[in-house]
Amino acid sequence: MPETVIVIGLGGAGSFAAAKLAEQGLAVIGLEADDLIHTRGAYSGESRLFRAAYHEGADYVPLLLESRAAWLELEQAGGRRLFHETGVLSIGSAAAPQMEQVQRSLAHAGLAHEVLDTEELRRRYPQHSDLTDEIGVLDLLGGVLRPEAAISEIQRRARLAGADLRGNQRVAAIDEDAHGVRVRLASGEELRADRVVVTSGITSGGLLPDLAPHMQILPIALTWFCPENPADFAPDVFPAFIRDQGDVHIFGAPTLDGSLVKAGYDARFGAIADRSELPRELAPEDRHRIARDVHRLVGGLPPHIARESLHCDIFTADKRPILGRVSERIVVGTAFSGHGFKLIPAYGSALAAFVTGAPQAHDLSAFSPARFA
């Protein structure tokens, strides 16, 4: 009899881990509190940036390269668009520490990139306005992921390999004993498994209370604008971007629907206890500030927000994920801290290896739950 593994939470990390484990012959049950694809995940909202220019640390580079190859493989095998290879343009003052860091990390890892001085930046990307002493660093491995399609494709792979993925099954508690793990659903039903993977995003602290004090849930707003000339913002002429000017930090993606362009920045919300505290919409002053700054920095986007949505992710203080075993039979993959989607393939594979005891492909000690002990 193969070992039974229950994966709790089928966002990116859980779906990928479920697929990997099922492909290795384990009996996998995936339990998702919501529909199998929904609008309330940390993945929701049309697009996620993939950057190889990673100022978060050089140790992410091997994980990024593995993930990028996996996204392209998934896209090709599934025959649907998951990754737009637009590149990612970082724009900031030549003297700003993050611009030096981005260049250093790309050069250090030997990753393909171009450095554009202010004149070249103006000439090639006239969409970016109000340039002062800013330079651009174009990360040629970067691009834009389609998260809903990606998760749907990963779940298709998981089901093909035999995983039993169940929507609308909220897990209320897990208890480990000498023989396995008991998983209690909110409906009152109980399931047993040899091992459990907790990938339930913002609720993972509720299922693993020892980790709860080390994580906080932060809202992130997304905003879209409707340009008069969408052709100026098509993926072949307008790379995804991150721009820092003074204390304004904006990020965005080209138009993926030929109509709206995503551009915005974190609206600096405070931590919330759970989803019920997530604001339903931006406060008028935040809306005004984002629209004003985006219009000033990307002149072809009008000073009005055409679409907005509010989401949240769960963060650690060091903004590194929590990935590893918390006990003999329980593995956790959570707290991707606002930058985890691009790395889902590497994180999902690592979770599968933690379950089976296979050697890890990378040194993940900096992500270990043991760092909080």
Ligand X SMILES: Cc1cc2nc3c(=O)[nH]c(=O)nc-3n(C[C@H](O)[C@H](O)[C@H](O)COP(=O)(O)OP(=O)(O)OC[C@H]3O[C@@H](n4cnc5c(N)ncnc54)[C@H](O)[C@@H]3O)c2cc1C
Per CB under 6 A, which of residues 285..324 are in contact with ligand X?
311-313
37 binding ligand X? (CB under 6 A): no
Q: Which stretch binds ligand X (CB under 6 A): 29-37, 73-81, 102-110, 230-238?
A: 29-37
Helices 147-160 and 12-23, interaxial angle, to 10°? 20
Rounded to 5 degrees, what angle do the CA atoms 150, 72, 298 make? Answer: 75
Q: Which stretch binds ligand X (CB under 6 A): 41-49, 153-161, 278-286, 355-363?
A: 41-49
Return the SS3 of 29: strand
Residue among 241, 341, 354, 367 that touches ligand X (CB under 6 A): 341
CB nearer to ligand X: give 131 or 242: 242
Q: What is the DSSP letter of 103?
A: H
Residue type, 280: R
Query: What is the closest distance, in whole angstroms, from the C-beta atom of residue 197 to ligand X in the complex?
Result: 11
| x/- track of binding to ligand X for residues 233-272 (CB under 6 A) | ----------------------------------------
43 binding ligand X? (CB under 6 A): yes
Per the CB < 8 A criterion, the answer to whether 154 and 139 are in contact is no
46 binding ligand X? (CB under 6 A): no
How many Cα atoms sit within 13 Å of 67 on the Cβ side? 30
Helices (H) and strands (E) in the chain, counts: 8, 20
Per the CB < 8 A criterion, the answer to whether 127 and 299 are in contact is yes
Return the SS3 of 289: helix
21 binding ligand X? (CB under 6 A): no
Q: Which stretch binds ligand X (CB under 6 A): 21-29, 62-70, 82-90, 335-343?
A: 335-343
Terminal Cα distance for the chain, rounded: 35
Question: Across the strands, what pairs with 198?
Answer: 8, 332
Per the CB < 8 A criterion, the answer to whether 362 and 350 are in contact is yes
Q: Are strands 88-93 and 240-245 parallel, antiparallel or unpaired?
A: parallel
Q: Which stretch binds ligand X (CB under 6 A): 12-20, 100-108, 135-143, 174-182?
A: 12-20
Query: What is the closest distance, in whole angstroms, from the C-beta atom of residue 120 to ligand X in the complex?
Result: 26
Task: Tell me which H or E stretch contains 61.
Answer: helix 61-78
Residue among 340, 345, 348, 369 that touches ligand X (CB under 6 A): 340
With CB under 6 A, what is the number of residues at the site for ligand X?
A: 35
8 binding ligand X? (CB under 6 A): yes
Rounded Cα–Cα distance for residues 373 and 368 (Å):
10
Residue with tokens 């996620």: 48
338 binding ligand X? (CB under 6 A): yes
Per CB under 6 A, which of residues 189..208 are in contact with ligand X?
199-201, 203
345 binding ligand X? (CB under 6 A): no
Q: Which stretch binds ligand X (CB under 6 A): 34-42, 93-101, 154-162, 272-280?
A: 34-42
Return the SS3 of 145: strand
Residue among 7, 19, 32, 225 that touches ligand X (CB under 6 A): 32
Chain residues in the site for ligand X (CB under 6 A): 8-14, 31-34, 41-43, 45, 48-49, 170-171, 199-201, 203, 220, 222, 311-313, 334, 336, 338-342
